[in-house]
Structures are given as C-alpha cells and as structure tokens.
Amino acid sequence: MNKYIIASILSISLITVSCEDDDNSVNECAEITADFTSSMLAFNEFMENGTGDGEQLCKDYASSLEELIEEGCMTLSEIDMTQEEYEFIINGTFCSLLSIIN
C-alpha cells in the first residue's frame, strides 16, 4: 500500500514540475516575443523616419530575432522568413549594409 502512495505522490510531483516548466517556457517566450516586437518596431521607426542609432537598432533587431527562433518561440515560417533571409540578418550582413544605405 505504501508503494502505491509513494508512486502517486511522485507522479503528482512530476506533473507539477512539468506544468511549472511549461509555465516558465510560456513566460520566457512571451518576454522574448515582446523584446523582438519592441526591437522590430524601433528598427522600423528608424527605417521610416531615421530616428535613433540605426546600427544599434539593427543589431538589437537581429539578436532578438535570433533569440526568438533559437529558443523555439516561433518558427521562420510563422514570421514568413526564409532560412537565407534569417541567416542574412543574424550573420551581420544586413546591418552592415545600413552604412551603405545611409
């Protein structure tokens, strides 16, 4: 009988830990997505109006995009981006072209 009680307690503990891990993952992705959205909007504002430090805003956008994808919060298809476009942004090529544009 004690074996069944211990097994039940262990299974409930595993479910609780599992749910907490999911909550942390959801919260973490919510923060990562918010950071990505904020950096994307700031970079878009720079592209449209020239406000802010374009190079830094681009780097922030690229790093937040990389975190968004690498942490599994979104997929490239969900943000309508190809692998080549993604690599072009995160490897620094995209941001380095800003100096040519400006």
pTM strictly above 0.85: no
The CB density around residue 34, as the number of other CB atoms within 10 Å, is 11
Percentages (nearest 5) of helix, strand, coil residues in the chain: 80, 0, 20
Q: Quote the pLDDT of residue 25.
A: 79
Tell which phi-psi region holds residue 41, choosing left (phi > 0), alpha (psi between -120 and 50) or beta: alpha
Q: What is the pLDDT of residue 83?
A: 97
Task: Average the pLDDT over each of 21-25, 66-70, 77-81 and give the range with the smallest value.
Answer: 21-25
pLDDT band with cut points at 50, 70 and 90 for residue 20: very low
Tokens representing 25? 């993952």
